[in-house]
Amino acid sequence: MAVTIFHGSGVTVEAPEIRIAKYTKDFGFGFYCTKNYSQAERWARRHNNPKRGEKPTVNLYLYDPDAGLSYKVFEEMSEEWLDFIVACRKGVPHAYDIVEGPMADDTIWDYLDAYMSGEISRTAFWELAKYKHPTHQISFHTEAALKCLHFERTVLV
């Protein structure tokens, strides 16, 4: 069943693509969206550079999952989720077309960074993160995955 998902950007993105960036993200290189409109608005507000023609923009897509693709879904922060994010942040590739789950937002990212650099233990990470409520993300990692997205419209925020 198709659902609406959102991508916050500085521009309209009618044809999503996977870009290899300088920094790896939670689930590796991919095109990131969310089911949470307010989260997409926050992403969009980070892109406000009129000199580059950017305006905070939320792109809406109809997402129609394809049963033939490989999915990894994390329902909540877990040991497996933490290990997966650490590996992806270190540049270790994975074989999934689509990955969905909690996002290591700014607060959780600080704890994750401290854990990855050895400043805090795994136990300390979980103690600090247990009261945080991560936001949602879904990332598309292959061209086949991107075909599940159908551009609907944009909203300037």
Share of the chain above pLDDT 90, in %: 77
Distant-in-sequence, close-in-space partners of 45: CB < 8 Å, separation ≥ 6: 8, 56, 157
Q: What is the mean pLDDT of the chain?
A: 92
What confidence category does residue 92 fall into, taking pLDDT thresholds of 50, 70 and 90? very high
Name the residue with higher pLDDT: 132 or 36.
36
> What's the CA dihedral at 140, 67, 104, 132 to 10 degrees?
150
Distant-in-sequence, close-in-space partners of 130: CB < 8 Å, separation ≥ 6: none
Summarised one tens digit per residue, pLDDT across range 38-73 is: 999 999 998 878 888 889 999 999 999 999 999 999
Mean pLDDT of all residues in 117-123 = 95
CA 77, CA 28: separation in Å to the nearest integer? 17
pLDDT at 132: 77
* pTM of the predicted structure, to 2 decimals: 0.92
Which sequence spans correspond to the domains of the chain?
3-156
